[in-house]
Structure 1
Amino acid sequence: MAQLREHGFKPFDRTSPLAQAIVKGWKEHSPADSLVLSPDLELMGRLPVNDRQPPYNGAKGYLLFLQESLDGKLPGLREDVPTNWDLLLETAVESGAMVDDGLRVALTDEHSEQEVLSVFRTSEPDARNYTIVEIDATAFEDGGVLVIDVWVGESEVSGSFDLFAGDVMELGSANALISARDIPTNQREVVKYPFDQGRIFRLGAIGNASENGKINGFLAKISVAPASTKNSGN
């Protein structure tokens, strides 16, 4: 270092306003950062080269980054805002982007697996406000194994899923053929129910009663496995 000083080298002054702005904006271990600074050396935007993900990738993305910086939107500097899942999912239902009633799947040999994407809501203990999916498996005259692979969304409410016979009038866990109870957020569970002849089922999805007024999404993959697997233990 002494020899460098002798040749006129001046070490970087980290106490200067410019240096402080750069230190504040740079991301550790990033090989290169794009920083936008105001005339007063206030940090207005940051774009680490390794994090150029949509919408900031490519030339248009870089222009968007610059424009948002000039507009005071602080790209790359804002803390993540938690998603308001209640608002997001209710809006999706109201707009028709997601459906929570009249859900039905018909399974056949040619189409033995189908998916349902919908929502469930929490309810008072005696209300039983199920989201219902009708499952038509009458095409399987010799029966089979109904397989329901369900994934619960990211909202902060767990979900329970009850499978009912198609002719059951009073819906409730006591009358369910099989259930998957209290599946946590962002988790999945698989339930299987063997049946001897083609029939109609109803799948009811509902939120934890202790969290009234909440909503969450779910994805159910519903299929029928061959009757030969009923006693296979799989």
Structure 2
Amino acid sequence: MNRHFINTWVSNSELGRTRSLREPIAKKREREGKPFDTTHPLAQAIMKGWKTGSQKGSPVDSYVISPEFELMGKQQFTELEIAGISQKEYYHTFLKDALEEKQPGLGNIVLTREHLVEEVLDVFRTPAVGYLDYTVVVIDLTSFENGGTLTIDIKIGRDKGDGEFYLFDEDGELSIDEEEPKDALTGTWGEPCDTRQITYRFERGQRFKLGASGYWDEGEMCINAFLAKISVEENPNGTVQ
């Protein structure tokens, strides 16, 4: 697969992401006379990646960027450290999904009549504050004007940590202060190695948000993986059965 990629490293601090280092680095550049062009398309693509998908802290982010400098995928280093799924397998899936234009890590799943099923591999973790700490997947079903049935089949990883999964509409509040968020349309929970399913009937094309979180009362910080198979069955006559 390496033949599809050119690899390079870019320091986040050089781009100004680390606030405490901005002034020292600026002085260093002035002293050495080596400016860093943050307007370059590669730098701009990386900086866009900071604001896309998961916002959780990570010392290293991996990005897949097209020859036209379009962001194709994002993978955080901290989310490779998952017992039960090898780093090699996880990272290979990330690269493969990026090449297939599935936009892994960018937080959006788009289903259409020609593309009715999508899989998402991600992680959830025990909340450090509040009851929930969401990993969010945006599900775009706007092309199904007549409505239909959304099905999410969830497989929870083998590591420690129970998982909670809630479905929201596009404008629903992902509250962290409620054990069961009031804006959730439906939801489920499970233990390691469990399989669960969420189904929801919708009357018109719209966007949803799937929020995955670890259980708040684990007694220790846990990070576990989940695989979500997201599919839709369109209602042909516009009336949800």
TM-score range, shorter chain: 0.5 to 0.7
Report if aligned partners of 1:145, 1:224 keep a CA contact under 8 Å in 2.
yes
Q: Distance in 2 between matches of 1:96 and 1:87?
A: 7
Q: Does the C-alpha gap of structure 1 residues 215 and 224 become closer, same or farther in structure 2, counting only changes over 3 Å?
A: same
Q: Does the C-alpha gap of structure 1 residues 176 and 137 become closer, same or farther in structure 2, counting only changes over 3 Å?
A: same
1:161 and 2:169 aligned: no
Give CA deviations for 1:182-211 in whole Å, capped at 9, x if unaligned.
x01101011100000000000000011112
Deviation of 1:103 after TM superposition, in Å, equals 2.0
Report if aligned partners of 2:131, 2:216 keep a CA contact under 8 Å in 1.
no
Deviation of 1:126 after TM superposition, in Å, equals 1.4
| Stretches of structure 1 lacking an aligned partner (at least 5 in a row) | 1-85
1:204 and 2:211 aligned: yes
After TM superposition, the score normalised by the length of structure 2 is 0.53
Bigger radius of gyration? 1
Q: Distance in 2 between matches of 1:170 and 1:156?
A: 24
Counterpart among 108, 114, 118 of residue 112 in structure 2: 108
Report if aligned partners of 2:80, 2:91 keep a CA contact under 8 Å in 1.
no
Give CA deviations for 1:53-103 in whole Å, capped at 9, x if unaligned.
xxxxxxxxxxxxxxxxxxxxxxxxxxxxxxxxx98329959x966879532
Report if aligned partners of 1:92, 1:98 keep a CA contact under 8 Å in 2.
no
Report if aligned partners of 2:82, 2:159 keep a CA contact under 8 Å in 1.
no
Equivalent AA in structure 1 for residue 191 of structure 2: P
Report if aligned partners of 2:174, 2:211 keep a CA contact under 8 Å in 1.
no
Equivalent AA in structure 2 for residue 137 of structure 1: L
| Stretches of structure 2 lacking an aligned partner (at least 5 in a row) | 1-78, 95-103
1:136 and 2:143 aligned: no
Deviation of 1:151 after TM superposition, in Å, equals 0.4
1:195 and 2:184 aligned: no
Q: Distance in 2 between matches of 1:116 and 1:142?
A: 25
Size of the aligned set, in residue pairs, is 144
After TM superposition, the score normalised by the length of structure 1 is 0.55
Alignment of 1:36-115 (within 5 A): 88-89=81-82, 92=87, 101-115=105-119
Report if aligned partners of 1:149, 1:220 keep a CA contact under 8 Å in 2.
yes
Report if aligned partners of 2:155, 2:227 keep a CA contact under 8 Å in 1.
yes
Q: Distance in 2 between matches of 1:145 and 1:155?
A: 31
1:215 and 2:219 aligned: no
Q: Distance in 2 between matches of 1:98 and 1:205?
A: 20
1:186 and 2:193 aligned: yes
Quote the RMSD (CA, aligned, Å): 2.8
Report if aligned partners of 1:101, 1:131 keep a CA contact under 8 Å in 2.
no
Identical counterparts, % of pairs: 36
1:226 and 2:234 aligned: yes
Q: Distance in 2 between matches of 1:88 and 1:130?
A: 18
Report if aligned partners of 1:121, 1:216 keep a CA contact under 8 Å in 2.
yes
Q: Distance in 1 between matches of 2:197 and 2:80?
A: 28
